[in-house]
Amino acid sequence: MRSRTNGKTEAAPSSLEGSPAGSPEGPPCDVLVVGGGVIGLVTAWRAAQRGLAVTVVDPEPGGGAAQVAAGMLAAVTELHYGEQTLLGLNLASARRYPDFAAELTEASGQDIGYRACGTLAVALDADDRAHLRDLHALQVRSGLTSEWLNGRECRRLEPMLAPGVRGGLRVDGDHQVDPRRLAAALVVACERAGVRFTRAWAQALSVVRDRATGVVLADGTALAAGQTVLAGGSLSGRLAGVPEEVTAPVRPVKGQVLRLTVPRRYAPFLSRTVRAVVRGSHVYLVPRVSGELVVGATSEELGWDTTVTAGGVYELLRDAHELVPGITELPLTETRAGLRPGSPDNAPLLGPTALAGLHLATGHHRNGILLTPVTGDVMAHALTTGELPDEAAAFTPRRFTSAHLNSSKHLTELSA
């Protein structure tokens, strides 16, 4: 594996690449999941529930982008032109959330902060209003439920909104969950379901006679498995030993987020998620029952850099303040940056690859928390049957195989 920070990479020793080097540790498991973020964890949990022997490899399971994410379950408000296929999967996952939250709470004994609070997307000027009107039209054409409100109606719902709000979309189906609680609960649910954790970095995929057979850890230990799932988030494309034609085309998309605290005397400050596009930048405020108010997020293509910058914090506070002026009274309790695992079409890569024994569960980009429930079900299905269920057929990693090869060839030709 290569270094985690700032995109400075250290190539794995060539002796490990693609070889079953190292001494095997213990009996092979059925499924080895590389990456214990929410996607790897939900895959492991659901696979273990189906009777498979599962191991998760991650130095810090439950970490990853969920430590930063806001936790909006925004299938409707995050709809973009050209992403109608993804919309189907997003809606399928949103529908699962109430039962998923109840089952995970029962399995882990932990509340995951699922809150059916709805969302209000507002416009501050004529351009934002036109943008929101377009989104509303697209939502209606896509059969989604959202209601156009004028400025006064928006402020009646959320009195802390700025007087200048011109109108907005009320989306009662876009809810929220607390991603940190979600990740922690998944770790416990996995442990209780018999999933084993190896707290280490996977250095290289082992491939024997055109079949993935597990991984080799940084200390040379080999872990053998019938099937290996690569769920390494933004690092998914960087595991050594993965043949080029099945390498995940995933890149890091940096997001900076602020956490403020609403003192009890101000509650309820906001009763639902409030979001807007301000001068072309997206800003949202997600209020939790605990008093935490998450303000996010920047979207930056800067490799593996996770520095919190003055400019990022300034822009988020400036835009959030235009939306809800009262935020300047609140204590600023945390600033943090994380990496979304972006894919070329902003949709996840799920299920078997062209290399026997290797699956991908990655590329969830800005919707990984929303897509956690459906990903668990889809991956468990793929691991037990070898095939993707119909609802996820469009998300096969194979959709990129030839395009990926062609673009690599093109780049090679350009640099020659």
Backbone angles phi, psi at 389, to 5 degrees: -65, 160
**Which residue's CB is nearer to ligand FAD, number 165 or number 239?**
239
Q: Rounded to the nearest whole angstrom, what is the least distance from the CB of residue 390 to ligand FAD in the complex?
A: 23
Which alpha helices (DSSP H) does 179-226 contain, by range? 179-192
Q: What is d(CA 89, CA 79) in angstroms, rounded to the nearest whole number? A: 12
**CB of residue 252 vs ligand FAD: minimum separation in angstroms?**
9
Nearest distance in Å: CB 152, ligand FAD:
28
Q: Tell me whether residue 74 or residue 330 sits nearer to ligand FAD (CB atom).
A: 74
Cα separation of 139 and 127, whole Å? 18
CB of 103 vs ligand FAD, minimal distance in Å: 19
Of the candidates 375, 312, 406, the residue with the CA atom closest to the CA atom of residue 44: 375
Measuring CA to CA, how many Å separate 228 from each of 75, 112, 130, 361? 30, 28, 47, 10
Measured from the CB atom, the residue of 68 and 104 that comes closer to ligand FAD is 68
Nearest residue (CB) to ligand FAD, 151 versus 377? 377
- Under the phi-then-psi rule, with left for phi > 0, alpha for psi from -120 to 50, and beta for the rest, what region is 210? left
CB of residue 238 to ligand FAD, shortest distance in Å: 7
CB of 72 to ligand FAD, least distance (A): 4
Q: Is cis: bond before 268, omega within 30 of 0?
A: yes
d(CA 94, CA 110): 20
Strand partners for 294 = 259, 286
DSSP state of 373: H
Are β-strands 29-34 and 222-230 bridged in parallel, bridged antiparallel, or unpaired? parallel
- Would you tell me which residues interact with ligand FAD (CB under 6 A)? 1, 34-40, 57-58, 60, 63-66, 68-72, 201-202, 231-235, 239, 255, 257, 296-297, 338-341, 362, 364-370
67 or 401: whose CB is closer to ligand FAD?
Answer: 67
CB atoms within 10 A of CB 76: 23
| Cβ(70)–Cβ(341) below 8 Å | no
Q: Contact at 8 Å (CB) between 328 and 320?
A: no
Task: Report which of 119, 121, 100 is spatially closest to residue 165, judged by C-alpha positions.
Answer: 121
**Residue 176 CB, nearest distance to ligand FAD (Å)?**
8
What is each CA distance from 64 to 188, 207, 400, in whole angstroms? Answer: 16, 27, 25
Q: State how far the Cα of 339 lies from the Cα of 305, in Å rounded to an integer.
A: 8
Provide, rounded to whole angstroms, the least separation between the CB of residue 151 and ligand FAD: 26
- Dihedral angle, C-alpha 156, 160, 163, 169, nearest 10 °: -60
For residue 304, the SS3 value is coil
Q: Where are the alpha helices (DSSP H) in 109-150?
A: 126-141
For the purposes of burial, counting CB atoms within 10 Å of the CB of 19, is it exposed (0-12), middle (13-18) or buried (19 or more)? Answer: middle
CB of 65 to ligand FAD, least distance (A): 3
Among residues 70 and 169, whose Cβ is nearest to ligand FAD?
Answer: 70
Closer to ligand FAD by CB, 167 or 288: give it: 288
- Provide the minimum distance between the beta carbon of 16 and ligand FAD in the complex, in angstroms, as a whole number: 12
Strand segments (E) across 90-199: 119-123, 147-150, 167-171, 175-176, 196-198
CB of 341 to ligand FAD, least distance (A): 5
